[in-house]
A and B are shown apart, each in its own frame.
Chain A
């Protein structure tokens, strides 16, 4: 096993899939000559040439829709949004076309496109550049939503996303691009819709994804010092949800905290907690708690930003609360 960064893992996934299938191409702002705004596409232009690694003008609605049109006639585009904040400009194409064309055409079309890019708060980027929008996309039938937390998952999940015949929203954490982790040698896939236990424990289940897995693991380490063993579950794919994995854990621990970088109102955690209440009500010994970003646009000041996003102490405190400690 080699230790590589999250961005390298994504880069390997794209390179391997482009090698494997000539219909796969990468398109987005600064993906080619600039080598990627976050260096995720580093070296791909040199390796695959300008036909398949395509720099776009700043026109998210246009190139997102172009990807959908190319996909509906048989190509397999990877469309990079420099950050998911800018995907809002392309929302019409993603929601009205990518997600609906198959259904509206009575199954005549398929749209094998991956939209991927950086998400979430980084370091004082302000309100417009710090958003976690997975809840918006999870709300839309027709889309698959994936949010990896480790380099190993990132690579295997992106390869599955590229091979899937459905439109996939692939959300990467901007601050996690430099995170390192072990990645297996050779080809492997992480299937869509299959979650993972990131830490085993018996006392409380903490559900998180993307960057928040690392916050949850840090909280679990804090709790371990007090003799509390938290189980950390990563659904990895948010739509469709690996409900059984979550329920199995809760049947064991009887307590649950959900950590989400997005906002609380109608967040992904709200849906997950609803499903747990519906299907594991009798197993719960305490109401589920959610730790989310505060319900505000992101402030710029460093101290305020840190106070807004979920942190390990907040998660540990929530875990103790559901344990009535």
Chain B
């Protein structure tokens, strides 16, 4: 990968990190309501994945979706405004944290029901193949999802009909407070692909370049051969399941979280870039300043965006 592209990845990971930190602050100030799931710790997965995609490829995610929409090119201002429940939000204030959409950028949500996005992703890939397009669909999900029927029904359909879709399990180890080993009969989640004779891989989700490499292969398989893949990215969330949940309590220890933070994907990639001399401390500072401004402008935009008009309640229920 060229230096410019590497720096783009770094910049996007930094944007997501700082955006999410600011989101947490805004949640604390009650500017943001509802359930709000932060992506801090998992940035390498979405960023490495999108780096392997074309702009016109489809991406669909679960409810921990702030990082995905930003990585796919969504406007931070409109994303923050959506979190604030404002008319200027990506979903006009009617979706919220869990339902971010940017169809022009190929981002189709933002799904709040565990596994609900998986059959939908399968249908998007079906449509691309039906029309003879070489578009690829990526469907992100948490590891808690793989026990749902929708996951298994979808994988079977995708393999049976050779659909150009990549199912991406972002294994952050915990489905809310339940660790993988208390929920899954198998540890290696990509094994699930074997039941459906599907290509599979497991990747270090804390390493953006490794994620990119594995995803690029899967994208090639989908685009050239119209074949699906199941990719497990092993990652970790540094915050609670949602903003209402503790970072650690009964289900994991503070020591565990601190140990995991030594694998911080942003710092790890930053060290790599420093080591390669692709970047220096001054440039890091410059990126930080730029991102700080973007995030501040996002909050200002969200603050100043009007609340949705009450008439909007009955808008967009149906296509008239």
**Residues of A that sit less than 8 Å from B by CB:** 25, 51, 56-57, 59, 61-75, 77, 92-93, 96-97, 101-110, 141-142, 144, 164-166
How many angstroms between the C-alpha atoms of A63 and B150 in the bound complex?
Answer: 10
B123 lies within 8 A of A67 (CB): yes
Cβ-defined partner of A104 (8 Å) among B95, B118, B315: B95
* B76-115 contact mask (Cβ, 8 Å, vs A): 1 or 0: 0000000000000111111100010111000011111100
Sample of 14 further A-B pairs with CB below 8 A, known A64-B119, A65-B154, A73-B124: A59-B156, A62-B122, A62-B153, A66-B122, A66-B123, A70-B127, A73-B127, A92-B116, A104-B101, A105-B101, A106-B316, A108-B102, A141-B317, A144-B318
CA A109 – CA B108 in complex, angstroms?
9
Which among B112, B130, B316 is the interface contact of A102 at CB below 8 angstroms?
B316
Are B130 and A107 closer than 8 Å at their CB atoms? no
B1 within 8 A of A: no
A82 to B94, CA, bound (A): 35
Q: Give 17 pairs: A residue, B residue, CB < 8 Å, sorted on A.
A: A65-B116, A66-B122, A66-B154, A73-B58, A73-B123, A74-B131, A75-B126, A75-B130, A93-B116, A96-B112, A97-B111, A97-B116, A97-B120, A104-B109, A105-B95, A106-B92, A109-B101
Does the CB pair A57–B123 fall under 8 Å? no
B150 touches A65 (CB 8 A): yes
The answer to whether the Cβ of B50 comes within 8 Å of any Cβ in the partner chain is no
CB distance from B167 to the nearest CB of A (A): 13
In whole Å, how far is B157's beta carbon from the nearest beta carbon of chain A? 5
Residues on B with beta carbons closer than 8 Å to the beta carbon of A62: 119, 122, 149-150, 153-154, 156-157
Bound-state Cα–Cα, A63 to B91, Å: 27
Count how many chain B residues have C-beta atoms less than 8 Å from C-beta atoms of the other chain.
Answer: 44
Partner pick for B150 among A77, A92, A101, CB 8 A cutoff: A92
Flag whether B231 is at the interface (Cβ < 8 A).
no
Which chain B residues lie closer than 8 Å to A106 at the CB level? 89-95, 101, 316
Q: Is the CB of B119 within 8 A of A93?
A: yes
Q: Is the CB of B124 within 8 A of A72?
A: yes
* Contact (Cβ within 8 A) A51 B130: yes
Residue of A with least CB distance to B137: A69
Inter-chain contacts of A70 with B (CB < 8 A): 123-124, 126-127, 130
Chain A residues within 8 Å of B116, by CB: 65, 92-93, 96-97
* B317 interface neighbour in A105, A142, A164, Cβ under 8 Å: A142
Cα(A65)–Cα(B91), bound, Å = 21
Bound CA–CA A72/B109 (angstroms):
12
How far apart sit A75 and B131, CA to CA, in the bound complex (Å)?
9
Residues of B within 8 A of A73 (CB): 58, 108, 123-124, 127-128
In the complex, the answer to whether B318 meets A65 with C-beta atoms within 8 Å is: no
Q: Which chain B residue lies CB-closest to A62? A: B153
Q: B194 near A: Cβ within 8 Å?
A: no
Please tell me if the beta carbons of B101 and A69 are within 8 angstroms of each other in the complex. Answer: no
Name the residue of chain A whose CB is nearest to the CB of B82: A106
Asked if A104 meets B99 with Cβ closer than 8 Å, knowing A61-B149, A70-B126, the reply is: yes
Query: Which residues from chain A contact B92 at a C-beta distance below 8 Å?
Result: 106-107
CB-nearest residue of chain B to A144: B318
Q: Looking at the assembled complex, report how far the CB atom of B211 sits from the nearest CB atom of chain A, in whole angstroms.
A: 24
Complex Cα distance, B232 from A153, in Å, reads 50
Let me know if A61 and B123 touch, CB within 8 A: no
Residues of A within 8 A of B103 (CB): 105, 108-109
Interface centre among A57, A59, A69, A164 (most CB of B within 10 A): A69
Across the interface, do A66 and B99 meet the contact criterion of CB distance under 8 Å?
no
- B160 on interface, CB distance cutoff 8 Å: yes
Q: Which residues of B contact A57 (CB under 8 A)?
A: 153, 156-157, 160
Contacts of B119 in A (CB 8 A): 61-66, 68-69, 93
Choose from B118, B120, B315 the contact partner of A107 (Cβ within 8 Å).
B315
Does B309 reach chain A (CB closer than 8 Å)? no
State whether A59 touches B127 (Cβ < 8 A): no
Q: Is B169 an interface residue (CB 8 A)?
A: no
- Contact status B316-A103, CB under 8 Å: yes
> If A62-B150, A104-B95, A106-B93 touch, does A166 touch B319 (CB 8 Å cutoff)?
yes
Chain A residues near B154 (CB-CB < 8 A): 62, 65-66
Do A102 and B317 touch (CB < 8 A)?
A: yes
| Most chain B CB neighbours (cut-off 10 Å) among A61, A68, A141, A166 | A61
B121 at the interface (CB under 8 A from A): yes
- Chain B proximity of A297: nearest CB distance (Å): 24
Chain B nearest CB: distance from A93 CB in Å?
Answer: 6
Closest-by-CB residue of B relative to A167 is: B318
Q: B157 to A63, Cβ gap below 8 A?
A: yes
Distance in Å: Cβ of B94 to nearest Cβ of chain A:
5
**Cα separation A101 to B127 with both chains bound (whole Å):** 17
Could you tell me the distance in whole angstroms from the C-beta of B147 to the nearest C-beta in chain A?
Answer: 14
A104–B89 touching, CB < 8 Å? no
Pick from B113, B127, B156, B319: contact of A110, CB under 8 Å? B319
